[in-house]
Amino acid sequence: MRKRRRSGFGHGEPRYHLAFNPYPSQRFTKCPHCRANTGQRKLPLLIHIDQAQMVALNYTNRYCKHCDLLIAHKDEVESLLTDLFASAAPELVGNDYLIFATMEKNAWRDNMHSPRAPMEMLDHIHDFKSYTELRMTRGGWYPEGVEPPEWTPPASERWVKEK
C-alpha cells in the first residue's frame, strides 16, 4: 500500500500546538489549557509576510510541556518583525503575516551561515499540529445565563503601515 503524504509546508512531522496571544498586557505563566506552569522554549518560527516574504525568527515562546503548547505574544513578534524590516524592506511593515511552522535549530543556524533556498530546507521544517488565537472574556460578576463579553484585542502599535 502506498503511503499518503500529509498536506502541509514542511516535510517533518508536525510539532507543537501554537497559541497566539494578541493581548499585550497579558502573559501566560500558566498554560491556558491545563493550568500547569509554563517554561520557555526558543525556536525559529517560520513567518510568511504578504508579498511572498518568508522569515525564520528565533523567538522565545512560553511553553507547556504537558500540552506541547507554544504561546507566542503578538506584540513581541511584531516588534521584532518591525525592527527587522524597518530599514531592509519598510514596504513590508504592516502587511498581513502568518506564523505557520518551526524550523530545526541546527538547520536554522546552518542557513544563517550559508543561505539555502526554502525548497532545500523542507526536511527541517515542522508544521504546527494546531493553531489558535487566544481570546479572553472580561472578568466580573454576570447574571446567570449571561455570557461575559469578549475582551477585544487592541490594535497593533508598531506593526502598522506608514502613510
What's the average model confidence in pLDDT over 12-33? 91
Q: What is the mean pLDDT of the chain?
A: 88
Q: So what's the pLDDT on residue 7?
A: 55
Name the amino acid, one letter, at 108: W
Q: So what's the pLDDT on residue 81?
A: 94
* Helix (H/G/I), strand (E/B), else coil: 101: strand
Phi and psi torsions of 74, nearest 5°: -55, -45
What's the average model confidence in pLDDT over 107-125? 84
Q: pTM for the complete prediction?
A: 0.85
DSSP per position, 34-80: T-PBPEEEEEEEEEEETTTEEEEEEEEEEEETTTTEEEEEHHHHHHH
Q: So what's the pLDDT on residue 9?
A: 67
C-alpha cell at 43: 525556536
How sure is the predictor about 84, in pLDDT bands with cuts at 50, 70 and 90?
very high
